[in-house]
Structure 1
Amino acid sequence: MIAWMEWFLIAILPFVSLALAALAAGMFVSNLPLFMDGESASHCDPSESNNADPPRVSVLIPARNEEGSIAACLESVLQAVQVDLEVVVLDDGSTDQTGAIVRGIAERDSRVKLMEGIELPEGWNGKQHACYRLAQHAKHEHLLFLDADVRLNPIAIIHLWHRFSVEQDGGEIGLLSAFPRQETGTLSEKLLIPMMHFILLSYLPFARMRGSAHPAYASGCGQLFFTAQASYQAAGTHAAIRSSRHDGLKLPKAFRENGMLTDCVDGSRWAVCRMYTSAGEVVQGLLKNANEGIANSRLLIPFTILLGGANLLPWITLVMALAKRSSLIADGLPITTSVVIGILVSLIAILVSYVPRMIAAIRLGQSITGAVLHPIAIVSFLLIQWWAFWNHLRGRQVTWRGRLG
């Protein structure tokens, strides 16, 4: 029995890990060109639209204690070309200088308007309520919901409009999400922020997503959403996700539940964002909405198997095979075929498991350090997901920007 178990751990599990690593790597490689096809919109020349009526876009920015980023965000938006623009900022109960900064910019640029937040109604999340109110005051046909820590390229909005107008196999797009280039400074950021791309591209079938409005394919980045007023109203507005903290998943799902396609693309040519600036912020940020993502009873165990099996199991099987090899040598016995196979397959699985992060580092400008330390990122990410699940079971909710909602 012991010999059989040893043979299973050394000779069989490496193949399991290789299969799981190959699944993720294969999906990532096939998805990446589809994810980056927003580049086709970037090939348009804005000057070609000089004689046409420019698209009318309301840029809607919820802001709570964003004095360190709101000015840069607004200045970048106001540099937009070839669009008829209005920018509406809602100061959602900030205790810093956010409101004063926006007010100062609005005084010298009439395109900027400042809204004051109100007491958060029961059952609402703060960001969702802010976006809901912002949309009520938007005057233009198209809506760009933008986080206050995002900075746009001048051609971003016109290119987003072009990409939003591209019809997919499944029909017209109701909601487009673009993933900004994520700036990372601390080691924790370099390790964990790229996990958003790793999970998205390794496990979401992009071709199916663009060919079906099924809610199971809902995905996006809450930092940047582009839609039209009619589609937004048909989806139920942010009222449909009023209690959610995870608009990146929940808003696309609301559109899909109402029969509309959603899409997500690489937005690194259009926007840049630094989400967090410390390890504590990274952990707190991942904890706050984890139970609406992976850290729930339906997905946590499957994703633990998928992520752990593809990225951690190969290291475990390699150590076991090497330990068995050392034991055989110490006993003066020949090294068995199963041990050799276990070592080789484990090494191949490890190399394959690095493919997504290394490609992302090269193609998406992510940290090489974070990619090299990918197994540590996986361990950290899974621990945070289980921690979030445990918090959810105990009814504990992480505060964010000074409140639970």
Structure 2
Amino acid sequence: MTLALLALIALALALLPAVLAAVNLAILRTPEPAPTGGLVSILIPARNEAAVIEGTVRAALASRFVPVEVIVGDDHSTDETAAIVARVAAADPRLRLISVPALPEGWTGKNHACVALAAAARGERLLFLDADVTLAPVGAAALAAHAVTSGADLVSGVPRQVMETLGERLTVPMIDFLMLGYLPIALMRASPRPSLGAACGQMILIGRGAYAATGGHGAIRTSLHDGVRLPRLFREQGLRTDLVAGHALAACRMYRNFPQSWAGFSKNAHEGMATPMALPVWTLLLFGGHVLPWLVLAAALALGAGNAAALALAAALVSLGTRAAITLRVAEPAATIPLHPLAVCTALAIQWNVLLRPSRAGRAVWKGRSYAVGAAPKPQREPG
């Protein structure tokens, strides 16, 4: 295969996410907050979150335009999480602390905690927030308003991702890049196909009736990737899901360093890219569109192949331009843009490591618990 042909392939693979991102960025909007008249229950599962939980609950209590209750589920924390929440709750009756029951066999911790939280909630809408998510004052109202105007039973968005270390900047930006560069959001809204369902597990708003009808987190009890499984579950049962631009509605700092990021993205890889069918395709798309251009450009320059160099340079610029457009729109650090080829390589390394090293990837350890991982679980309905 000639360098010119390789460069042409790289350009085509770079143009695919560029076109999708252009369309997605044009149609994905931040919803406007509006009074909806119903109580929103903000539900926060928490296990050893003493470092962040006070800021999370105070931000949730500062919600405007809709009435809220905030419930924190203490999932057997061994730090001061429960004490901190209890102290804040003493001054604000809208905040409640519940103790999550012991984890049953066959459940993952977050799903079990979310079921307990939903059972304690009184609101018409359930807003599930990770404990490291800081909700904007208009966040709950905006998500609820979009649910009303769109008719969606599940609404999600990616919070603005806060990254301070190099390890975070090499991993976390791929969340928005993959969603905005490879998910056809217009088709997702037009088609009920379950495979098009997508959400961000950090922030998901669900109608109470739809949650009960589907079984909610209880129906995906073995899953470590609720951002994938919940919207697909809803679509399988004929319900609507939607995405909004979430960067102005909340902020989240997922991890603090590279080891945390590697472990975090590894734990749910089997329910994402890391399958024998999917990962080779994703490798072709990601490596071919965002790393190959630079390799071909270097080779073409070294060999004096002018046409190949021009095509490869065009592919590299398209790739970086796409990443820059997404990064700037979602308010992530601009310094992550030139790291894009390395971020793609890191993402693929995580996925291939999980797929090819079953002795280590056969179990995922998270928050001090070990879970068996494998193929995505089939939905299970709650008894009764």
Provide the residue aligned with 1:5 in structure 2.
none
- Counterpart code for 1:225: I
Query: Are 1:165 and 2:139 matched, yes or no?
Result: no
- Aligned-pair CA distance for 1:34: 2.0
Asked if 1 retains the 8 angstrom alpha-carbon contact of 2:224 and 2:267, the reply is yes
Picking from 292, 296, 314, the partner of 2:271 is 292
Give me the whole-angstrom Cα distance separating, in 2, the residues matched to 1:319 and 1:365. 31
2:370 is equivalent to residue 404 of structure 1: yes
- Residues 391 and 397 of structure 1 are in contact (CA less than 8 Å); yes or no, is this contact kept in structure 2? no
Alignment partner of 1:59: what SS? strand
Counting only pairs closer than 5 Å after superposition, residues 171-186 of structure 1 correspond to structure 2 as 172-186=151-165
Whether the 8 Å contact between 2:157 and 2:246 is mirrored in structure 1 is yes
Tell me the secondary structure at the aligned position of residue 62 of structure 1.
Answer: strand
* Aligned twin of 2:281: 302
- Residue 265 of structure 1 deviates from its aligned partner by 1.5
Q: Which amino acid aligns with 1:138?
A: A
Alignment partners' CA distance in 1, 2:101 and 2:210: 26
Unaligned stretches of 5+ residues in structure 2: 372-384
Q: Residue 19 of structure 1 aligns with which residue?
A: 12
* CA distance in structure 1 between the partners assigned to 2:118 and 2:169 by the alignment: 34
Unaligned runs of 5+ in 1: 1-7, 326-338
Q: CA deviation at 1:106?
A: 1.4
Task: Tell me the amino acid that sits aligned with residue 261 of structure 1.
Answer: R
Question: After the TM superposition, which residues 69-80 of structure 1 pair with which residues of structure 2 at under 5 Å, given as runs?
Answer: 69-80=52-63
Q: What CA distance in whole angstroms lies between the structure 2 residues aligned with 1:393 and 1:308?
A: 26
Find the aligned partners of 2:286 and 2:321 in 1 and give their Cα distance: 14
Shift of 1:222: 0.3
How far 1:103 moved relative to its partner? 1.0
The alpha carbon displacement at 1:395 in A equals: 5.4
Deviation readout 1:93-134 (Å, 9 max, x if unpaired): 111000111111111111111111222111100000000111
Matched, 1:129 2:112: yes
Aligned to 2:73: 90
Structure 1 stretch displaced more, 119-128 or 365-374: 365-374
CA distance in 2, matches of 1:82, 1:205: 32
**Which deviates more, 305-314 or 229-238?**
229-238
1:349-400 deviation digits (Å, cap 9, x = unpaired): 1101112211123222112221111111111111111011123476532311
Name 2:133's counterpart in structure 1.
150
Note the 1:180-329 alignment, pairs <5 A: 180-325=159-304
Match of 2:318 among 349, 352, 367: 352
Matched, 1:58 2:41: yes
Cα distance, 1:206 vs structure 2: 0.5
Give the aligned partner of residue 10 of structure 1: 3
Displacement of 1:198 in angstroms is 0.7
Q: Deviations over 1:268-298 (max 9, x none)?
A: 1111111111111111111110110011112
Between the aligned partners of 1:393 and 1:297, the Cα distance in structure 2 is: 16
Residues in 2 aligned to 1:33 and 1:240: alpha-carbon distance in whole angstroms: 34
Q: Hey, what's the Cα distance between the residues in 1 that align with 2:153 and 2:281?
A: 30
Cα distance, 1:9 vs structure 2: 2.7
> Residue type of the partner of 1:283?
W
Residue pair 2:165, 2:257 contacting (<8 A) in 1 also: yes
TM-score (structure 1 length as normaliser): 0.89
Contact 2:43-2:127 within 8 A present in 1 as well: yes
> For the residues of structure 2 that align with 1:133 and 1:32, how far apart are their CA atoms?
36
Aligned length: 371
Q: Residue 191 of structure 1 contacts residue 371 of structure 1 at CA under 8 Å; is this kept in 2?
A: no
Asked if structure 2 preserves the Cα contact closer than 8 Å seen for 1:88 and 1:114, the reply is yes
Kept after mapping to 2: 8 A contact 1:17/1:309: yes
SS in 2 for 1:75: helix
Name the SS for the 1:173 alignment partner.
Answer: coil
Matches within 5 A, 1:103-118: 103-118=86-101
Q: Distance in 1 between matches of 2:166 and 2:361?
A: 30
Q: Deviations over 1:9-53 (max 9, x none)?
A: 312110000000011111111111222x12xx32x5x5xx5xxx7
In structure 1, what residue type is equivalent to 2:370? Answer: L
1: CA distance, partners of 2:27 / 2:363: 36
Cα deviations by residue, 1:36-81 (Å, 9 ceiling, x for unpaired): x12xx32x5x5xx5xxx73211111100000011100100111112
1:31 paired residue number: 24
Query: Residue 268 of structure 2 aligns to which amino acid in structure 1?
Result: N
The alpha-carbon deviation at position 89 of structure 1 amounts to 0.9
Equivalents in 2 of 1:106, 1:91: separation in Å?
13
Contact preservation (8 Å) 1:59, 1:145: yes
Partner AA of 1:239 in structure 2: G
Contact 1:212 1:261 in 2 (8 A): no
| Larger Rg, first or second structure (1 or 2) | 1
Please, what TM-score do these two structures have when normalized by structure 2? Answer: 0.93
Q: Is the 8 A contact 1:291 1:392 kept in 2?
A: no
Q: Distance in 2 between matches of 1:74 and 1:195?
A: 27
1:67 corresponds, among 50, 53, 58, to 50
> Which whole-Å deviations, capped at 9, do the CAs of 1:117-168 have from their partners, x for residues lacking one?
222111100000000111111111111011111111111111111111122x
Given the superposition, is the C-alpha separation of residues 16 and 221 from structure 1 closer, same or farther in structure 2, using an over 3 Å criterion?
A: same
Question: Aligned partners of 1:104 and 1:288: how far apart in 2?
Answer: 33
How far is the alpha carbon of 1:343 from its aligned partner? Answer: 0.9
Aligned to 1:3: none
